[in-house]
Structure 1
Amino acid sequence: MKKQILAVAVAGAFAVPAFAAADTNVTLFGQLQTQIVHQSASGDARFNDGFRVMDGGGTSTGSGSTAHLFSNNVDGANPNRIGVMVNHDLGNGLTALAKIEQNVTTTDGFNSGARDAYVGLDGDFGRVTAGRMSSPYSTAGKDPLNGTFMQQRVNGGRLAPGGFGWGGFANGSYLDRGLRYSNDFGMVNLDVAAFIDNSNDSDTAYAAKLGFDVGPVEIYGAYQRADDNNQTSGILGFVDGTTNDDDDATATKLRTAKIGVDFRQGPWRVNFEAEDFTAENENNITGMQERSGNTYFAAGTYSMGSTDFSLTLGHTSNDPAGQANVDSVAFGVTHHMSNRVRVFGGVAHTDVKSGGPDYTAVGGGMRVSF
């Protein structure tokens, strides 16, 4: 009798989701990657050459303006995630959305932070979302080697996310309290967002991306402005005092802009991107601190069946002169065992100018998605 009751209870538990699925689609998704990489450095006695097992990272630690400040690699900027996406059909072409996505690593499990976490509406008018999300400015996926140790956003060819210096205002990171709208208008794509500062909504950060799809070519530009938004705290290592010019707790002013071209035809893909950045901080303790510069990124990929051959180049110019200028190059081979499983390998080299060290990484890894 108890077994029959248990069977009925289990059947009932599964019947409710099945009934709800008539107008709701719930998708569990994720991916996990790990790599074995040998890293070496010349001109940096602090760096310990050797093999590492890591999920992401790069040739050294940091990027552009910060690569020369650290000795050994931090495992970050990886593609690993697990999440749930909900699409609820409201009728008349309107869909309600909910997404929650969590970072996951092979060392810390689920203890490495949140990614997307938002609700929204999708329809003929476009898509509106609210919550935690990436900025429209982010174009991390333009790099064919993104998420691996060969990625340019960590090695010196693009603005880097997270602990590498630019927080969520970079390529491939996330910001809280966002309101975002996107839509396609024929060949034109518009993507805009605002990120609210709850302590002072006049310090809201803004980002926008405008793209033009012209046959095999996408031409796009993006801009980002964040004055005193509380999510700029600590960007580029700025240290804030207890008071500053506007009695705000952060007082970091940030401007970033980029233009890019992405060409795809047949087995070829070629893309180029240029960024301009300025960040400044002024307070009663440190006075005015300012860092500005440019990044340049280029990539070419040739696909032969299920195998991609990719070459990427990056350069970062920093001002003031005390900050490092960086050149970087990477070559990678990616073999798609299926549309969910890939293996990859290659080499990446980062050269920190003005007498700085050179870093080289050689290795390979595997990524599994579901």
Structure 2
Amino acid sequence: MKKSILALALIGAFSGAAFAQSSVTVYGIVDMGVQRDDNGTSANSTKYSMESGAQSGSRLGFKGTEDLGSGLKANFVLEMGILADTGASDQKGLGFGRQAYVGLSGDFGTMNLGRQKSLTYVASESIDPFGVGLAGNMNRLFGTVTRRDNAATYVTPNMSGFSAAGQYGFGEVAGNNAANSVGAVSATYSAGPVFASIVYEKAKDAAGVKATDGEKTLVGGTFDFGMAKAHAAYELLKGGEAATEVKKNVWMIGATVPVGAGAVVADYTRITNSTISNANANQWALGYTYNLSKRTNLYTSYSQTKNDTKAAYNAGGNGLTDKLFNAGIRHAF
């Protein structure tokens, strides 16, 4: 009897140790607000709506890690987007449309496989004063692809503030490995008040040639002065091949100014088309977030995008002006 009790105790101890080496976290965000969007098409073009995820996409996620010993860990993330206004799945109905990947991490860095954020989007999250959300986020003109399917992503360890990453998305087209594929590399420095990043990305279309805006070079960063944070970014966009190549330049400058329990955010973005005349646009935006607690905040923002006669960014047609306002509440858990 004593031996049996001892054996059970040892099994329990080892089992507890094994479970202690693994962890799974359930997390999420519920973001709901009202929105007024006037795309400029007519006097009756204004739409009022209840929108999910204006500041941050509403989501439910599961992330976990297992200690494999000798500094090696297995990691996974399964994150689904939710349209909180209707309860439907976001990202065109995908079950885990935000992220779905598994990988290993250790002294060598991190390697993940699956549906993941693009490297340009990862950089934008840190550079954009609006946090790639709200009415004024810079990606409304930068044209950033948020996520990549079938992606393999490697990130180096942090080396005194410096890190680098590489990403390849498989196109999975039989007989044409270039079709629908994407490759990207980035380098980042983050230490003290400084954040800076450069990303190069090249995506191919279904025919295996450079996609529209498929070649991107993004350079940007922030500097925190304490009383305010400055934001700036530049991106060169190229699409098409040889004589049909289209080139665009995008600039953004912005600021985050802490005010009481919240912050005022603002930016100005301009896109110019180097190939087509009168196809430029500019956007200015102003917003405010107010923290009710560490996990709950209120927000509001307004942006205006004005297009030249041959441009239609964010609007209902060429030469039109889009005006977007939103206000809401976000809770993270």
Which deviates the most, 289-298 or 266-275? Answer: 289-298
* 1:92 and 2:62 correspond: no
Aligned partner of 2:331 in structure 1 is 368
Partner Cα separation in structure 2 for residue 56 and residue 360 of structure 1? 18
Which deviates the most, 316-325 or 30-39? Answer: 316-325
* 1:256 and 2:216 correspond: yes
- Pair 1:182–1:318, CA change in 2 (3 A): same
- Pair 1:118–1:257, CA change in 2 (3 A): same
TM-score scaled by length of structure 1: 0.73
Partner Cα separation in structure 2 for residue 118 and residue 363 of structure 1? 32
Q: Deviations over 1:249-276 (max 9, x none)?
A: x544431101112112324211100000
Asked whether the 8 Å contact 2:63–2:77 carries over to 1, the reply is: yes
- Secondary structure of 2:139's counterpart equals helix
- Secondary structure of 2:20's counterpart equals coil
Aligned partner of 1:201 in structure 2 is 177
Deviation of 1:100 (Å) = 0.9
- Pair 1:261–1:150, CA change in 2 (3 A): closer
Partner Cα separation in structure 1 for residue 78 and residue 241 of structure 2? 34
* 1:175 and 2:148 correspond: yes
Aligned partner of 1:52 in structure 2 is 49
Asked whether the 8 Å contact 1:137–1:208 carries over to 2, the reply is: no
Aligned residue among 70, 73, 79 for 2:57? 79
Asked whether the 8 Å contact 2:29–2:60 carries over to 1, the reply is: yes
Aligned partner of 1:185 in structure 2 is 159
Partner Cα separation in structure 1 for residue 110 and residue 239 of structure 2? 31
Matches within 5 A, 1:65-214: 79-106=57-84, 107-110=86-89, 112-113=93-94, 114-138=97-121, 139-141=123-125, 142-145=127-130, 146-154=132-140, 156=141, 158-160=142-144, 170=145, 173-183=146-156, 184-199=158-173, 200-202=176-178, 204-213=181-190
Q: Deviations over 1:264-301 (max 9, x none)?
A: 2324211100000111169xxxxx85432011112200
- Secondary structure of 2:293's counterpart equals coil
Equivalent pairs: percent with the same residue? 21
Which deviates the most, 314-323 or 335-344? Answer: 314-323
Deviation of 1:343 (Å) = 0.5
Aligned residue among 8, 19, 22 for 2:20? 22
Asked whether the 8 Å contact 1:159–1:295 carries over to 2, the reply is: no
Aligned partner of 1:62 in structure 2 is none
Partner Cα separation in structure 2 for residue 255 and residue 334 of structure 1? 34
RMSD: 2.6
Partner Cα separation in structure 1 for residue 294 and residue 65 of structure 2? 23
Aligned residue among 224, 227, 240 for 1:280? 240
| Unaligned residue ranges in structure 1 (runs of 5+) | 1-16, 58-76, 161-169, 234-247, 283-287
Partner Cα separation in structure 2 for residue 128 and residue 175 of structure 1? 15
Partner Cα separation in structure 1 for residue 277 and residue 56 of structure 2? 29
- Secondary structure of 1:137's counterpart equals helix
Aligned residue among 294, 298, 320 for 1:357? 320
Aligned residues: 297
Asked whether the 8 Å contact 1:32–1:105 carries over to 2, the reply is: no
- Pair 1:223–1:331, CA change in 2 (3 A): same
Aligned partner of 1:341 in structure 2 is 296
Structure 2 residue identity aligned to 1:21: F
- Pair 1:307–1:277, CA change in 2 (3 A): same
Partner Cα separation in structure 2 for residue 87 and residue 339 of structure 1? 25
Partner Cα separation in structure 2 for residue 90 and residue 276 of structure 1? 42
| Unaligned residue ranges in structure 2 (runs of 5+) | 1-14, 310-317
Aligned partner of 1:226 in structure 2 is 203
Aligned residue among 274, 286, 304 for 2:259? 304
Deviation of 1:342 (Å) = 1.0
Partner Cα separation in structure 2 for residue 182 and residue 100 of structure 1? 19
Aligned residue among 216, 219, 224 for 2:193? 216
Deviation of 1:220 (Å) = 1.7
Partner Cα separation in structure 1 for residue 216 and residue 296 of structure 2? 35
Aligned partner of 1:239 in structure 2 is none
Asked whether the 8 Å contact 1:55–1:148 carries over to 2, the reply is: no
